[in-house]
Chains A and B, each alone.
Chain A
Amino acid sequence: MWKSYVRLLFKTKLPWFWLGFLTFLNIADITLGLLLPAYTSQVASGVITSTVITGVVVVIVVRVVFSGIIRYIAKITSYKIDIRYRKLIWNRLMRSPIKLYDDVKPSEMVSRTVNDTSQISAVISGLLPALVGMVYGTIYIAKVLYGYDWRLSAGLVLYTPVYVLSIIYYGKWNYRTHKYTQNRLAGLTQFLSELLVSIPLIKSFANERKETERGKDNIQLYYKANMKRSLIAWVNTPLTSILNLVMELFVIVFGIYLVTQGTITIQIWIAFFMYVGMYFGMLETFGLMYTQIKQSQGATSRIAHLVENDLEQYHREQEVHSNQLDLEFEKVTFAYGDKLVLDEVSFTVPYGKVTAIVGPSGGGKSTILALLQQLYHPNGGQISFGGTPIEKFHLDSWRNLFSYVAQDSPLFAGTIRENIIYGLEREVSESELVNAAENANILTFINEQPDKFDASVGEGGSSLSGGQRQRIAIARAFLRNSDFLLLDEAMASLDVQSEKAVQAAMSVLMEGRTAIVVAHDLSIIRNADQIILLNEGKVETTGTHDEVLKESELYRQFVEFLNNTTEG
C-alpha cells in the first residue's frame, strides 16, 4: 500500500517548499492550541485576571486568522500537486504505445487524469503535515503531563496504541464494505445505462415488465450492500464513544485520586482534562487521514501503473531522407495477445503505385496499416523502407510520411478550418485551404455554411454527416501532402450519394502518391496496380486484378461474394 506512494512521490517534482511551509504552519497552530488549556484551566480554577483573559483572547484571535491561512495554503499546495500529476499523466498518455489503449478504456484514462490525481494530491498535501503535527503534539502533551505526574503521562502513552490500532482496524473493515458497496453501485449503474440505451429494443419486444423486475432485483442487491455498509458505519459511533469514555473515566477517577492525594491541584487536573480532549482530537484526525489514504489506494496504484508503463521511443537513428523508395514486409508476424493476426507476411509496396489489400475480415488488413505507421511493432520479421529497417527512423518523421484516412474519420470539436489544418506545423494560406477543400469535394458545403471555414463541427464532428466528416478528413490529407496514402475502408458506411462525392475526392488524392488501400469495394480494387490477398494472417497471392483472379480460387469466390451480396 505504501509502496505505490513512495514510487509516485519521486515521479514528478513536488512543491516541497509549500509542503514544508504547510507543515511549519501546522506546528505553529498546534503550539498555539496547546497554550489554551494552560490559560483556560486558570479561568476554571477562578483566576480571572486581565492577563489571563487577554492571553485567551489573543490566542483565539490568532488561531482564527491562522485557520484561514492554513486552509488556503493546504488547498493551494494540493492544487499545485494536481497540476504536476495531471501534466505527468497526460504527457505519458500521449507517448504511450497504442497497446495501452487496447487494454484501458478511454473513460478510465480520463478519470485517472481528472479524479485519481486529486485524490492523491489530497493525501500527499495532507499526510505530511498531519503526521508531523501528530507526533509533535503527542510528544508535547506527554511531556507536559509528565511534568505533572508521570503516571498520568504513562497512562496516556500506553492508551495511544490501543486507540490508534482500533481505529485502523475499524478503518480497514469499513473500507472493505465501502468498496463492496461501490461495486454494487457500479453494477446498478451499468445495468441502468445498458437498458436505457437499449430502450427501443425493450419497447419493440414489449419487454418492459420483465425489465422492471430485473431492475428491482438490482436495486435490492444494492440495498443489501448499502445496509451492510450502514451498519458497519454505525459501529463507529459506539466504538469512538467507548474509546473516548474509557480515557475520560481514567482521567476523572485517577485524577480525583491524585487530587485527593495532594499530588496535583485541581487547576492542573482541569488542564490535564483539556489536553486529553485535544490529544484525542489529533488522533482522530490521524484516523481520518488513514481512511483517506486507504480510499485513495486504488487511485494510487492505478496511476503508478500508468506512470511506469513503457513509452514510445521517438528519437532514433536517422531522419527519413528520401521518400521515393519501396516499402518491404519481410516475414512479418504479429499477434494481439495470444491471437496470431499476421503469420510471416512478406510483400513489397512499390513507390508511386496503388496497392490494394483485400480479404475476409479479421484477416489482418488493418493491422498491416497499423504496423506500417509503427503504432504496433511486429513480433517477428522486419519492415524496411528502401532497405533500412523502419525502427531506425525518428518516429515523428516516419509517421509524417503517411496520411491515414479511416472508415470513421475522427474530428475534434472546433471549426472546420482547425480540423483541416490539424497536424500541420506550418502556416496555411487561405488559398491553400480553399484548394484542399475543393479537391476534397467539400468546398460547396463549406461555402453554404454561414461561417464558412469557421463553422463549428460540433463535439467529435457531430453536426456533420458521415460523408462530410470523411471529406474533411480527405481535405486534411490533401494539405498534409504526404507521399504515402493509407486508406482503411474509407468508403464504407456512406450512402450512395456521398460515396460518389467521396470517391471522386479520393481518386484526385491518390494521383501521384503511393497508396495502400484496404477495401471491399470492387471499383477500387480493380483499378489497383497491385492486389495483396490476405487470408487468415497469410498472403495468399499478389498481383493485378486479372492475375489474381486467374490464380486464386479464394479471390474468385471473394469477387463473386461482393457481386452477389450486393444483389441481396
Chain B
Amino acid sequence: MNDQKRRSSWGEFFHLIKTSKLPWHLYFFQIVSSLATTTILLSMPLVIQQIMEGNIFDKEIVMKYVYMNIGSVALLTISSFFVYMTSPITKRNIQRVIWPKLIRLPMKEYRDNKSLNMISRVTLDPSYIDSSISDFTSLFNTTYSLVGSFVIMYGMNVKLTLALLPVIPYIVIVSIVVGHFTQRTQHGVQNQLSNMTAFFAERLPKIRLIKTFSKEDFEFEKSSRVIENQYTADKKRAFVDLFAEPLMQSVQAIVVGTVLVYGGYLVSKGDMKVSQVISFYLYVQFIHNNVLRYGLFWQTLKQAKGASAEIAKIQEAGEEKLERTYTFREKATQPNADLTLENVSFSYDQRLALNNVNLTIPKGKLTAIVGPSGGGKSTIFAMLERLYEPNVGRVLIGTTPAEKVHLDEWRSGIAYVSQNAPLLSGTIRENILYGIHEDVSDDIVWLAARHASAEEFIREFPEGLDKDVGEFGTKLSGGQRQRIAIARAFVMDPEYLLLDEAMASLDAQSEHEINRALRLLMHGRTTALISHNLRTMKQMDHIIVVNNGHVEASGTHEELKRTNELYGDLIEIQNEKNELLSFT
C-alpha cells in the first residue's frame, strides 16, 4: 500500500512536468555549455602541473593556461546565463497550469484547505519543482566531472587513486548521519517557531483586553518562557553543528591528508612526481563538491515530490463542470419554476448539517427561513446556490434536476446577497459590475447605485465610481459595502434572490437605508430570506422553520403559530422584546 502510494507520487511529479510546458531547449543548452566548461576545468590541473614541473619559462604553456582561464570564464558565463534564465520561465509555466485549476475547484476543497496553504501551491511549490529539475540537469555535469577527474587521476597514479576511493562512501555516510540529526533538531526549531509565532499572533490583536485588564507584566513573563523555549530548541540545533561541521570538513581533510601523506610516501619511493601530487591535490577538490551535489539533489527532489503531491491533490480534486444540458433561462421562465430541495442530506466533514430536508421556494413568492443559529439555514442557501452538491437527494427547478442546468448560469441567475457583503479590491465600478461580461454604460451603474441607496455616498467621493475600495473593500464602511453588493444584484437582475439578513454590525440609519434598498430589490423576484427578526413574519408568503438540520414545519405565520412549538417560542421571545420597545 505504502509502496504503491510512493510510486504514484513519483508519477504525479512526472505528470506535472509533462503537462506544464517547460523550456526544454534551454535545459539542453544548459547541459551542453556546462559540460564544455567542465571539460576545460578538468584539463587545467594538467597544465598547472606542467608549469610546476619547471616549464614556467615556457611561454607557450603559460599562454595556454591564460587562454584556458579566459575560456572557462567565458563558458561559465554562458552556461550560467542559461541556468538563471530558465528558472523564471519554468516557474511561470508551472504556475500557469496550477492557477486555473485552483480557482475552479469544488467548494468543498476550499473548506478543507486553508487559503494560506493554497497560496503556496502557486507561490512556493513551483520553485521546489523548478529547483529539482535544474538540479537534475546539473547532475549530468556533476557526474561527468566526477568520473572525469577519477579517470585522469587513475591515468596518473593507480595506487593513490584507489586510496582515495573509500572517501566516496565516507562522504555518503557522513552526509546521511549529519542530515538525520539536522533534520530532527530542525523539526524542533520549526515547532517552537510556530509556537512562538502563534503566541504573539494571538495576543497582539487582543491588546485592548490585555491593557484593560492590566496584564502587561503577566504577558511579558509568559512571553519570556516562549522565547526561552525557542532558544533551547535553537541551541539543540546548533549543538548538532558542533559535530556536523567538523564531520563535513573532515572529508576535505582526509582527502588532502591522503594526497599529501600517501603521495609524499610515493614520491619518496620514486613512484610519483611531485608535480603529480600537486595535480592530484587540485583534482581532489572536484570530488568533495560533486559528491555533495548528489546529496543536495536528493533533498530537493524529495521537496519537489512533496510539492507535486500537493499540486496533484488539486488536479485530482477535479474541476466543477459548468456546461450541462439546459440553459437556466429556459427553465427559470417556466411558470412553475419553484426551487425545491428533495430529500437533501449534506455534511461538512463529519458533521451532518442537513438531514433529509424537503422544502420548496415557490416562484414569485417571498419565503422566510427561520430557526436557531447553527440549524442549517445557511447550508440550505449553499445548496440552492449549488455551491455544494448534496450527499443525498437533489435540487430541482420546476421539475428539472439542477444537475442538468448549466452551473454558471444557475449561479448568476440566483443572486446571493449575504450579511458580510464581500467586495474585492478595485474600484466601486468594478465591484458593481462584478461578474457582468458585457459592456455596461455608466448610466446603468448609477441607476443601480441609486436603487441600492448608494448613489449619495458614491457621489461624495471625488473619484466617484472610480473610488478604490481597498482590499476586501476595507476603505468603505460596512453599510456602504452592503449597498454596493445590493447595487451589484440590481445590475445582475436575477430571477431569484437569496438574502441573508443579519445587520447586527450596522447602525440604525444605514440599516434603514439598506432595508429600503432590499425591499426594492425583492420586488418582483422570487426571494428566500434568512431572517433573525421575527417581527416581519406576517408579511411573508411562506415560512420554513429549520432546526438541527431538518425542516420542523412550514406554512404561513398564522398556521405555524398555532401548530409549531419552536416557532411559537421564537415568536414569544420576540414579543417580549417588542413590549419593551413600545413606548407611550
Contacts and interface: CB of A to CB of B under 8 A. Distances in A.
B24 interface: no
B316 interface: no
A375 B212 contact: yes
Contacts of B523: none
Contacts of B260: 43, 48, 53, 56-57
B58 to A, nearest CB: 10
Contact of B212 (A199, A404, A412, A526): A404
B135 interface: no
Contact of A60 (B219, B227, B256): B256
B118 A567 contact: no
Contact of B505 (A63, A80, A492): A492
Contact of A106 (B77, B204, B239): B204
B412 A75 contact: no
A95 B438 CA distance: 55
Given A72-B239, A523-B580, A60 B257 contact: yes
B208 A44 contact: no
B207 interface: yes
A496 interface: yes
A110 B206 CA distance: 13
B91 interface: yes
Interface in B493-545: 501, 503-512, 515, 531-536, 539
B279 to A, nearest CB: 11
A64 B200 contact: no
Contacts of A93: 204, 207
B277 to A, nearest CB: 7
A559 interface: yes
Given A227-B88, A492-B505, A48 B264 contact: yes
A320 interface: no
B264 A69 contact: no
B92 interface: yes
Given A256-B62, A375-B211, A233 B507 contact: no
B214 A399 contact: yes
Interface residues of B, number: 141
B249 interface: yes
Contact of B84 (A90, A95, A233): A233
B1 interface: no
Contacts of B54: 266
Query: Chain A binding site: helix, strand, loop or mixed by DSSP?
Result: helix
A237 interface: yes
Query: Chain B binding site: helix, strand, loop or mixed by DSSP?
Result: helix
B210 A71 contact: no
Interface in A167-193: 185, 188-190, 192-193
Contacts of A561: 508-509, 511-512
Interface stretch (A134-142, A215-223, A333-341): A215-223
A195 B424 contact: yes
A227 B435 contact: no
Interface string A224-267: 00110011011001100110010011001100100110000010
B115 A197 contact: yes
17 contacts: A57-B260, A69-B242, A87-B220, A93-B207, A110-B200, A194-B424, A204-B412, A208-B103, A211-B103, A219-B96, A234-B83, A245-B69, A252-B62, A410-B209, A412-B202, A422-B215, A565-B511
Given A406-B208, A562-B581, 19 more contacts: A110-B197, A193-B115, A193-B116, A199-B110, A204-B387, A205-B411, A208-B103, A208-B408, A212-B103, A222-B92, A223-B92, A230-B85, A234-B83, A375-B211, A459-B198, A459-B202, A496-B532, A520-B508, A568-B533
Identify the 10 closest CB pairs spanning chains A and B, nearest first.
A205-B435, A361-B507, A423-B213, A568-B536, A206-B408, A75-B238, A106-B204, A523-B580, A234-B84, A48-B264
